[in-house]
Amino acid sequence: MFYFLTKAAVSGVTAAIVSEIAKRSPAFGALVASLPLVSIMAVIWLWRDTADPSRIASHMEATFWYVLPSLPMFLLIPALLRSGAGFWVSLIAGCIVTFVLYLVTASVLARFGVNL
């Protein structure tokens, strides 16, 4: 249980640091947020838990494919906010579009033999 709480604390502190940086400088905060910090932490935790190179490789490859359909969200939400849509409406719309794009991506990749 202590190990799980340590992982949660380190991960949470990382997210808090990114949000504090973004308050001071949106551009630098975006740069730090764009770093694959969560993926790196997840891989480190996964390696420590399993030491399984095959599992790590599969995780990293799936992460690559799931990043692609998430990218439009980072353009949709600002466009909606700038057009006068509320924050929560914009965020929910971005999440829904991303979820739909995840499904489309998984379906298209499955046709090419890539199973996520």
The answer on pLDDT for 28 being more than 90 is no
Domain-located, residue 47? no
**Burial grade of 94 (CB within 10 A; 0-12, 13-18, 19 or more):** buried
Which of 7-21, 54-68, 95-109 bottoms out in mean pLDDT, i.e. has the lowest?
Answer: 7-21
Domain-located, residue 60? yes
Domain-located, residue 108? yes
- Give me the domain span that covers residue 103: 53-116
Reduced to 3 states, what is the DSSP secondary structure of residue 90?
Answer: helix
Cβ neighbours, 10 Å, residue 116:
14
Domain-located, residue 89? yes
Domain-located, residue 9? no
Reported as type and span, the H/E element at residue 76 is helix 73-82
**Burial grade of 41 (CB within 10 A; 0-12, 13-18, 19 or more):** middle
Domain-located, residue 80? yes
Domain-located, residue 90? yes
pLDDT, tens digit (0-9, with 9 covering 90-100), for 40-75: 988 999 999 999 999 999 999 999 999 999 999 999
pLDDT number for residue 32? 84
Q: Which residues contact 38 (CB under 8 A, 6 or more apart)?
A: 11, 14
